[in-house]
Amino acid sequence: MIRLAGTDLTEDALLELVVRLRRAGLDEHADRIVGALMSMQTEVMVTEPDRVTILMVLENPPAGLAELRDALLQEAGSREGSRLT
């Protein structure tokens, strides 16, 4: 299990995310996740470009990735709010 954006994801969910990223031609982002899996990392930091990219491929997420999408959307809302203050 790997933690991504504060969300614990199973290997199956991560592989689904990788497939979606690759289908969208976003190999660089997919490679980072695969690298984390292969090196047995427990957490992957998500940059702003990662967040935007992952949200693009999770417009209609499967059950295993819905929580990740919600966390990324909440994080985006928090960042927008802090920019306005």
Instruction: Round to whole Å and give the CA distance between 45 and 68.
Output: 13
Count of CA atoms in the C-beta half-sphere (13 A) of 55: 16
The confidence score (pLDDT) of residue 39 equals: 93
For residues 6 and 79, which has the higher predicted lDDT (pLDDT)? Answer: 6
pLDDT tens profile 23-77: 999 999 999 889 988 999 999 888 888 899 999 999 999 989 999 999 999 987 6
Q: How many domains does the chain have?
A: 1
Identify the pLDDT of residue 25: 96
* Residue numbers of the domain that contains 40: 2-84
Sheet holding 43-44, edge to edge: 7-9, 2-4, 43-44
Q: Output the pTM of the full model.
A: 0.83
**What pLDDT was estimated at residue 62?**
93
80 φ/ψ angles, rounded to the nearest 5 degrees: -65, -40
Give the angle 63-56-22 at the CA atoms, nearest 5°.
Answer: 85
